[in-house]
Amino acid sequence: MKRIFFLLLALIVLSANAQTKKILYSAKLQDTDEKKYPGATRLIGEVRMVHQGAVLTCQQALYYKEKNFFKAIGNVYLKQGDTITQTSDYADYDGNTKQVLSWGNVILKDPTMVLTSDTLQFDRLNQKLYYRSYATIKDATNTLKSKNGNYYLTNKKFTATTRVNVVNPEHNLVSVHLDYYTNSGLTYFYGPTTITNSKNKNSIYSERGFYNTKTDISHFVKNAKLFLKERTIEGDSLYYDKNRGFASATNNIIVKDTVENFLTKGNYAELFELKDSLFIVDRAVAITIIDKDSMFVHGDTLLVTGIPEERIIRTFNNVKIFKSDLQGKCDSIHTNQATGLTRMFRNPVLWADQNQITGDTIHLITNIETEKLDSLKVLNNAFINSKDSLSIADFNQIKGRNIFGKFKDNSIRTLLVKGNAESVYYNRSELGVLESISKEISSNIEFTLFKGEIETIKYLKTTEGKTYPPSKLPDHVKELKGFIWREDEQPKKMTDIFIKEGENKKTATNGKKLGPIKPMTSSKSDVNKIPKGPVSIEKQ
């Protein structure tokens, strides 16, 4: 008996479920035409269909009882609960699967958006809308268009693929794949995407990221690029707050200055757009093109401020410079692009051609029109050293209060030593034989150089000095006071600018720091006459 009772109960439940799945309908007129509409009941005038929380009305319909299928024709209106309404010219409704296919001027509304399309599939079972031949969604903030898309009614999520476009008064977004939440305005994209500011034409490109269309805050994590009016920022990860004018980037950063034609790199950067300021840390480097050659300036922190015409570049702590024909090191650098003046502070050193240049402060002046190095100033305790051409332990030396130099074709062509000028030179014949060593003292000395080697020497005031044979050179003459050889600090290649103190290769010869500086040759054989070599000497 119990088994019979439970069997009857199950049949009653199944019968009740079957009844609830059946489509209920009404109309002014209904008939059948098996020849024209086999298996269908034709409904005409004030047609109404009800099924599991959905109500559909239309002008005409065909109802297939066996298939529990309803075809609506003309002025179709579908309502689900109190929130979803839809109009179209035609609709097919499957009562078994709760699938609705609508076409012809489809308009669907919920509390957060309005969707229009020519054809729309409504999966009532999973509360999902989808289309495959273009649709437009409008909410309070944006208008979204795409060729293919799904809309999930429960969480207000729209997934769009193929020719996706999101437009509002502020921005235009173009993508190939994104998720958009109509209730919050949040957008997540998963393919090549460009967001363009409608007012100033700034734009962002990325292939994966997040964008809040209501707050204009975005975060990108793949191939991110921010295109501003005067700068382009690239990085593995990029955060941008448009309203604050603030951007931060992480890892493999490249910031291109499109006005001043230079770029900066590093692994973390912050840009304050409204203040025209940028700072970069973690392997920060500024790269400037000088006469078709790149100059690299690295420091622990790099700060760029000012409008394009008045850019100031400050580099702090552990600063190193590398150019194919010019290298340097100091604690900090200040560059004014408007004047072309670069100032090196705190124990600066430059290696130009075959010369090591040191002083309390070093200035490099670039011609802002030709973008070539123009001149050099070494202020206070100025010193220039170079190795003797055939000896690693002997050094040609020039020192004075200040030294002023002029560049030609990015090489030092003339040097003027002003104030307390002293020099020590190793004089060799044309065959390279060391003939004598000369020490000279004068108020001012002028040198001309060619390819780093001295061509002429001019003593501008009365001099005093002495020439020694090599075997009788006193130790106190061999090195001028303040002499130091810093060759092991020189960046030999571009990547050396990132080497920190203590990481340099250990090199020491005769207690001096040595490195790859090429020798500067003086062929002077006597301070009172023209030498056998190419150097000429003039006293005034």
Q: Residue 539: its pLDDT value, please?
A: 52
Least confident of 130-144, 372-386, 509-523: 509-523
**Per-residue pLDDT tens over the stretch 414-427:** 889 988 888 888 88
**Per-residue pLDDT tens over the stretch 24-47:** 999 999 999 899 999 999 999 999
- Of 171, 251, 178, nearest to 213 by C-alpha is 171
Q: Which regions of 155-241 does DSSP assign to beta strands (E)?
A: 157-167, 171-181, 186-189, 193-197, 203-206, 208-212, 217-222, 224-227, 231-235, 237-241
d(CA 484, CA 10): 102
Specify the long-range contacts of residues 379-383, CB closer than 8 Å, at least 24 apart.
381/482, 382/357, 382/358, 382/417, 383/357, 383/358, 383/359, 383/480, 383/482, 383/483
Q: What is the mean pLDDT of the chain?
A: 84
**Per-residue pLDDT tens over the stretch 321-349:** 998 888 999 999 999 988 989 999 999 99
d(CA 139, CA 148): 18
d(CA 365, CA 70): 84
d(CA 438, CA 450): 21
**Per-residue pLDDT tens over the stretch 300-313:** 999 999 887 788 99
Q: Residue 531: its pLDDT value, please?
A: 33
Q: Residue 526: its pLDDT value, please?
A: 30
Q: Residue 19: its pLDDT value, please?
A: 44
In angstroms, how far is CA 120 from the centroid of its own chain?
A: 41
Q: Residue 18: its pLDDT value, please?
A: 44
The two tokens of residue 180 are 């958009």
**Per-residue pLDDT tens over the stretch 241-291:** 988 989 999 999 999 987 777 889 999 999 998 888 999 999 999 998 776
**Per-residue pLDDT tens over the stretch 405-417:** 898 877 888 889 9
pLDDT classification of 538: cutoffs 50, 70, 90? low
Give mean pLDDT, residues 343-367.
90
Residue 509 has pLDDT above 70, yes or no: no
pLDDT classification of 434: cutoffs 50, 70, 90? confident
Give pTM, 2 decimals: 0.74
93 vs 6, which has greater pLDDT? 93
